[in-house]
Amino acid sequence: GNKSQDSGIAEMEELPVPHNIKISNITCDSFKICWDMDSKSKDRITHYFIDLNKKENKNSNKFKHKDVPTKLVAKAVPLPMTVRGHWFLSPRTEYTVAVQTASKQVDGDYVVSEWSEIIEFCTADYSKVHLTQLLEKAEVIAGRMLKLSVFYRNQHKEYFDYTREHHGNAMQPSVKDNSGSHGSPISGKLEGIFFSCNTEFNTGKPPQDSPYGRYRFEIAAEKLFNPNTNLYFGDFYCMYTAYHYVILVMAPVGSPGDEFCKQRLPQLNIKDNKFLTCDEEDGVMVYHHAQDVILEVIYTDPVDLSLGTVAEITGHQLMSLSTANAKKDPSCKTCNISVGR
């Protein structure tokens, strides 16, 4: 047998095919991968080929050039192997992955095994670390603080009528839509009620215009935001516009919303942060909000309409300002962090 090997024409033993692939330690832009393989010819493996693809719906891939390399060639390191940064993995995105083992030859070519089975996994949301990076970027542009006295919520008349008839007068939390950062851990998961608190610079009052309907519920700030409320940073984004949005979450201490946020979001000091503060001066609660961002505040508990007033606004309905399911501008340098998309 040795003679034929010396002449370099021996049949190469086939390389082992990876099977039983396991993905673990998934973050928004990395994962660990390991698999089993036969020990036969194992020592000849010099590299792994990993084929990673976004799981597309059937139609969106029609025009993708088939030869676009999505393969990662990695040195055969001990498993599990961490994959990060070779692709810009996007958060909260479904991927498929398959693996080959490979042996690099003297001439630089590779001998490869069959592909493994294809498995699917989904990347994670932004972690608190990523959100803290977003928070730091938002702090840079928040601007000086202006006084406020009320939180308000604009809706159509039907919404308030329905609340009175079907929910015993209490506005109910609903699941947050998918607007904002793609990796946001609150999208599609956190339940709450959206409020605004921005004021007009010259009047110190809420603006008379709104994209969300001609009726406005107004409530004194201290009814929602006080020392029994925890405040969390939720997101920072823009939608191809000059102005930026910051999402804050106000959760009554110990409420289900508070428990949800504690695990996932950076908590802010209610007396001292760059976005929305509540402090006592001479026995009176005083409130301030950041001037240079548009704050969207999510309150995580039901709110009874009797705690405030509902009235029609005199201004316009500016639909262009609506943020429902709005997509974040991925190219904006101000509000993107370098992980994922």
100, 123, 146: which is the final residue of a domain?
123
pLDDT at residue 341, as a whole number: 43
Q: Quick one: 116 and 145 in the same domain?
A: no
Task: Inform me whether the pLDDT recorded for 131 exceeds 70.
Answer: yes
Contact criterion met (CB below 8 Å) for 117 and 35 = no
Q: Quick one: 248 and 307 in the same domain?
A: yes
Could you give the dihedral angle defined by the CA atoms of residues 297, 244, 334 and 324, in that order, rounded to the nearest 10 degrees?
Answer: 80
For the chain, percent of residues with pLDDT exceeding 90:
48
Tell me how many domains the chain contains.
2
Q: What is the pLDDT of residues 31-73, one digit of tens each?
A: 999 999 888 878 888 999 998 888 875 544 444 444 444 677 8
Residue 8 belongs to some domain of the structure: no
Residue 313 belongs to some domain of the structure: yes
Q: Highest mean pLDDT range out of 107-116, 141-150, 208-217, 267-276?
A: 267-276
DSSP class of residue 210 equals B
Task: Inform me whether the pLDDT recorded for 129 exceeds 50.
Answer: yes
Q: Quick one: 204 and 265 in the same domain?
A: yes
Q: Quick one: 313 and 180 in the same domain?
A: yes
123, 156, 181: which is the final residue of a domain?
123
Boundaries of domain holding 288: 128-321
How far, in Å, are 111, 133, 142, 242 from residue 137 at the CA level? 48, 6, 9, 15
Distance of CA 218 to the CA centre of its chain: 30
Beta-bridge partners for 313: none
Averaged pLDDT of the chain: 85
Q: Give the integer Cα–Cα distance in Å for 85 and 98.
A: 18
Q: Give the integer Cα–Cα distance in Å for 262 and 253.
A: 10
Task: Inform me whether the pLDDT recorded for 236 exceeds 80.
Answer: yes
More confident residue, 318 or 37: 37
Mapped onto helix, strand or coil, the DSSP state of residue 154 is strand
Q: Quick one: 118 and 174 in the same domain?
A: no
Q: Find the mean pLDDT for residues 283-294.
A: 92
Question: Confidence class of residue 323 from pLDDT cuts 50, 70 and 90?
Answer: low
